[in-house]
Amino acid sequence: MNFGKGHKVCSTMKSYSVLLVFILSACSAVAQTDTNAIVVPAETNAPAAPSATNGVALPADTNAIVAQAETNASATQPGTNTVAVPTNAMTTAGPAGMSALDPVSLHGTNAAAGPAGMNTSTHPMSLEDCIQQALQHNLDVQISRYDPQIELFTVWANYGGYDPTLNLSGNYTYSKNGALIQNNQIVLPTTSEANTFGAGLSGGTPWGMTYNFGNGSLNGPGPANITETWGQKSAGSFTTNFDSTSSSVGVSLTQPLLKNLWIDQTRLNIRVSKNRLLYSEQGLRLQLITSITAVENAYYELIFAQENVKVQEEALVLAQTQLDQDRQRVQIGTLAQLDVQQDEAQVATSRANLIAAQYTLASDQNTLKNLLTDQYSNWHGTDIQPTETITNAPLQLFDLQDSWSKGMTLRPDLLQSRLNVEQQGIQLKFDRNQLFPEVDVIGSYGYNGTGQEYSDVFSQINAANRPFYGVGGQLTMPLSNVGPRNTYKADKVTLQQLLLKLKQFEQNVMVDIDNAVKNAQSTYESVGATRQARIYAEAALDAEQKKYAVGKSTTFTVLQLQNTLTTDRGQEIRALANYYEALATLAQKEGSTLERLRINVEVK
C-alpha cells in the first residue's frame, strides 16, 4: 500500500511538471508570435496569417508620402551665369504611367536605429530635397558649370579676329648733307627737318575681305601720312629756305576669290569654338544626369541600409527570445545544454550581422552627404532620414523602341560624339579650301594734298579734286603644295574614323538601353518573388515555433528557419532597392533623367 501510494504521488508530480512546461512553452510561443508580426502589404495576394498568430495588415494609406508634381525646383547658385534651373522646373514625379514612390512602410516604421553612441541631429529629406540640394552644392556639378562659360568666352575671343586695328604714329627727323655732284649736277649743301604723322585703320570682314584705311597705296598699304618738311640750302653766303607739306589719304581692299573665300582661319576658329560650346553644354547635362542618378541610387541605398538594420534587429530579437526560452527549458530539465549553446552562437552571429548592417548604414549616409554638399564638415553630424519608402514596386510598361529613340536623341555623350564628327567636318572644309591658290582682287582709292601748311593739305583733301585709284590682282601658289594636300588627306581619314566610332557608340547605347530595360523587368519580377518568399518564411517559422513549443521540433530547425526568414527579408528589400535603382539607371542610359524630373538646363 505504501509503495502504491508513493507511485501515485510521483505520477501526480510528473503530471504537474509536464503541465508547467506546457504553460511556459505556450507563454513563450505567444510572446514570440507577438514579437514577429507578419507584415503583409494591402495589395499583395499573400496567404492569410494563421489564426493563432497576431498578424498585422498595413492599411493602404499608411504614412503616405507622395512627391508632388508641382514642387519648386532649385535654382542654381547666385552669380552663376551658365546653368539656370528655373523655379517650378523640377519635380520628382516618375515617367508616364509610373506613380511616385509608393507610400507603404516595409516594417511599420520609417527610421532605422543608427549605431550605438552616435550623437547626430535628424534631418528628414525626400528624394526631391536631395536632388535640389545636389543641384546647388554638388561639387562635380559646380565644376561642370564653368565649362560652358569658358567656351563662351572662347567664342567671343575668336571673334577678335575681326577687330579693327588702329595705328597712330608720329616722328621727327633731322638731316644735314654736304655738297655733292649728282647726275653731272652740283647739289648744294642742305639742312632739313621733318615732322611726320600717320594714322591708319585695318581689319578683316566675315567674307574674307581685308581693308586698310590709310595711305591708299595699292602695293604697300599703310597708314595715312602727313609730312611737313622745312630747311635751307646753302651756296657760300647765299641761303635758300624751303617749307612744304604733303599727304595722301585713301583705302585699299583685298578680296580673296579662291583660298580663304568661303572659310579662313578666323571663321574656322569661330565655328570650332561654337561647336565646343555646344559640346560643353552637353557635358554639363551629362554631369547633371550622372550626379542626379548617383543621388537617386544613394538615396535608395540609404533606405535599404535602414531597413536592413531593422531586419537584423528583428533577427537578433528572434535569436535572443529563442535563447531565453531554451534556458528556461534547461532549468526545468526538458532541454539539453547543447541546444542552448546553439542559441548562443545564433545570438552572437545575429549581433555581428547587426553591427555590419549599422556600419553599412553609416557608410551609405556619408555617400549621400558627399553628393549633397560642398561643406562635408557641416553635414557630418547630420542623420539623413529618408521620408520616402520603397515597399512596393510600381508597375511600369517598358517600350524598348521608345527607349532607343530617347537614347538616340537625348544621350549627352552620344550628342557629344556627333559634335566631334561635326567639328572634324568643319576642319576638313577648311583644309580643302587651303588646297586652292591665292587669287585676290585688290583695289585702292584716295586723295592727295600738298601745300606749305597743314591747312593747305587738309583743304585740298577735303576738296577731293586730286584723286588717285588703282585696280589689280595677285596670284600666290605653292609649286608642290605637299603640306596642305597631306593635311587634307589625314583629316579626311580621321573623319571616316570618327564616323565609325559614332556608329559603334550608337550601337553600344542601344545595347546599354536593352540591358537596362531587361534589368528593370528582372528586378520587378524579383520583387514579387522575394516578397512571397518572405511571407512564406514567416508562416513557416511561426508554424515551426508552435511545433517546438509542444516538443515536436528541434532547436536546430527553428534556428535554421530564423536564418531563412532573415535572409528572405533582406532579399526583399534588396530587390525593391534594386528595382528603383534600375529605373534610375534606365533613365540615365536613355539620357532622359532631366526630362523625367522636369529639370530645365539653360546656359546664359
Query: In terms of C-beta density within 10 A (0-12 exposed, 13-18 middle, 19 or more buried), how is residue 76 classed?
Result: buried
**What is residue 120's predicted lDDT score, i.e. its pLDDT?**
61
Q: Are strands 190-204 and 210-214 parallel, antiparallel or unpaired?
A: antiparallel
Locate cell 547633371: which residue? 288
Alpha helices in 261-336 (DSSP H): 265-331
Reported as a single tens digit per residue, the pLDDT across 504-557 is: 999 999 999 999 999 999 999 999 999 999 999 999 999 988 988 888 888 888
3-class secondary structure, 239? strand
- pLDDT greater than 60 at residue 282: yes
Cβ–Cβ under 8 Å, residues 346 and 323: yes
Range 17-27 average pLDDT: 44
Single-letter amino acid code for the residue at 393: A
Q: Considering only CA atoms, which of 302, 286, 281, 289 is closest in space to residue 370? A: 302
Give the C-alpha separation, 355 to 573, whole Å. 18
Cβ–Cβ under 8 Å, residues 119 and 187: no
Give the C-alpha separation, 10 to 35, whole Å. 38
Cβ–Cβ under 8 Å, residues 569 and 536: no
Which residues are CB-contacts of 476 (< 8 A; sequence separation ≥ 6)?
437, 438, 440
Which residues are CB-contacts of 405 (< 8 A; sequence separation ≥ 6)?
none
| pLDDT tier for residue 108 given thresholds of 50, 70 and 90 | very low
| pLDDT tier for residue 289 given thresholds of 50, 70 and 90 | very high
∠ CA 471-472-476, rounded to 5°: 155
Among positive and negative, which fits the CA dihedral 65, 67, 68, 71?
positive
Cβ–Cβ under 8 Å, residues 354 and 566: no
Reported as a single tens digit per residue, the pLDDT across 11-21 is: 444 444 444 44
Q: Please give the model's pTM, rounded to 2 decimal places.
A: 0.73
∠ CA 158-160-161, rounded to 5°: 85
Query: In terms of C-beta density within 10 A (0-12 exposed, 13-18 middle, 19 or more buried), how is residue 475 classed?
Result: exposed
Reported as a single tens digit per residue, the pLDDT across 331-382 is: 888 888 888 888 899 999 999 999 999 999 999 999 999 999 999 999 998 9
Cβ–Cβ under 8 Å, residues 280 and 148: yes
Domain boundaries, the chain: 36-156+271-422+492-596, 168-270+438-480
Reported as a single tens digit per residue, the pLDDT across 226-270 is: 888 888 877 666 778 888 888 889 999 999 999 999 999 999 999
What DSSP character marks residue 345? H
Q: Three-state SS across 57-87?
A: ECCCCCCCCCCCCCCCCCCCCCCCCCCECCC
Fold of 36-156+271-422+492-596: Outer membrane efflux proteins (OEP) (1.20.1600)
